[in-house]
């Protein structure tokens, strides 16, 4: 499997460097930073800051999809993300690729039309199967995350792998090429605390699917519950998951605290990617 990831005109060698995906939530209700960046000026400033701190990709999201989230319409999601995407793309000093964090085909298509280079789908094409055709048409990488409504598994890791294979098959049927596919085991989605820890423990098994792995653990409840810490005190716990995740095969990490996690990733890469 190709270990190069093409984002727009940029090619990234995943054998040499872990990619940092900075989180930019332009929503009023994100679990960690809701409301902080839901104005264009503050969102652009945060995107620039994260890029300067070492983010390789900025992931723009206009709908909070934390557990028990309340869905918003595509129109509302577009109203939130389109002005931010346009403003970032028009910023001369901004060079990093953008990702659109959405499961809706209409939102992804408009974002890609505006120059966004990647799709991040938290439902792995199972919420809107037209999304795969959008990714294929634009040749954009798409991250397929594992997600489900229940925490009732017959056999946790084999079940998650099987369900990710279903998402991969949907992508293939839509015309998405293998080199466009990234997988995400879905920490914090459809899993309880012990199941999340078990996924981390068995993360290397996800390499068997043959695709780059994106890991999203930043500030999540797995860390809060394990350490009994609030959202604003989870940076060290996040760092532990990032370092372990890279050593177990993660190629991209999606984080809030870019500066700290860039340092963690670079130090871990020096030991792991040899």
Which residues are the active-site residues? 220, 254
H-helix or E-strand spanning residue 101: strand 98-101
Say how many Å lie between the first and final Cα of the chain, rounded: 19
- Whether the CB-CB separation of 61 and 23 falls below 8 Å is answered with yes
Provide CB contacts within 8 A for 51, sequence distance 6+: 22, 58, 94, 95, 96
CB atoms within 10 A of CB 41: 10
Sign of the Cα torsion 237, 238, 243, 246 reads positive
Q: Pick from 122, 129, 211: which is nearest to 165 by CA?
A: 211
Report residue 254 as tokens.
């999606």
Rounded to whole angstroms, the Cα distance separating 129 from 142 reads 13
Burial class (CB in 10 A: 0-12, 13-18, 19+), 114: middle
Report residue 44 as tokens.
């652009």
């Amino acid at each position: 499997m190709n270990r190069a990831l093409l984002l727009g005109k940029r090619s990234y060698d995943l054998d040499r460097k872990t990619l940092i995906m900075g989180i930019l939530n332009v929503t009023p209700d994100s679990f960690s930073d809701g409301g902080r960046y839901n104005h264009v000026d503050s969102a652009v400033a945060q995107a620039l800051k994260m890029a300067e701190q070492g983010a390789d990709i900025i992931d723009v999201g206009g709908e909070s999809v934390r557990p028990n989230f309340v869905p918003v319409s595509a129109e509302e999601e577009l109203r939130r993300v389109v002005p931010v995407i346009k403003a970032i793309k028009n910023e001369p000093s901004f060079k990093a690729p953008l990702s659109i964090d959405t499961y809706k085909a209409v939102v992804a298509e408009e974002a890609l039309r505006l120059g966004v280079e990647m799709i991040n789908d938290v439902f792995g094409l199972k919420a809107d199967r037209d999304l795969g055709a959008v990714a294929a048409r634009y040749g954009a990488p798409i991250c397929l995350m594992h997600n489900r409504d229940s925490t009732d598994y017959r056999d946790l890791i084999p079940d998650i792998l099987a369900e990710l294979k279903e998402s991969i098959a949907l992508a293939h049927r839509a015309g998405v090429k293998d080199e466009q596919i990234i997988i995400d085991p879905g920490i914090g989605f459809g899993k309880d605390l012990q199941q999340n820890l078990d996924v981390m423990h068995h993360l290397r098994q996800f390499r068997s699917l043959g695709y780059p792995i994106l890991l999203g653990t930043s500030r999540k409840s797995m860390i809060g519950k394990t350490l009994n810490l609030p959202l604003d005190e989870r940076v060290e716990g996040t760092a532990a998951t990032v370092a372990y995740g890279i050593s177990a095969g993660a190629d991209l990490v999606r984080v809030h605290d870019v500066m700290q996690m860039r340092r963690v990733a670079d130090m871990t890469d020096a030991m792991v990617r040899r």
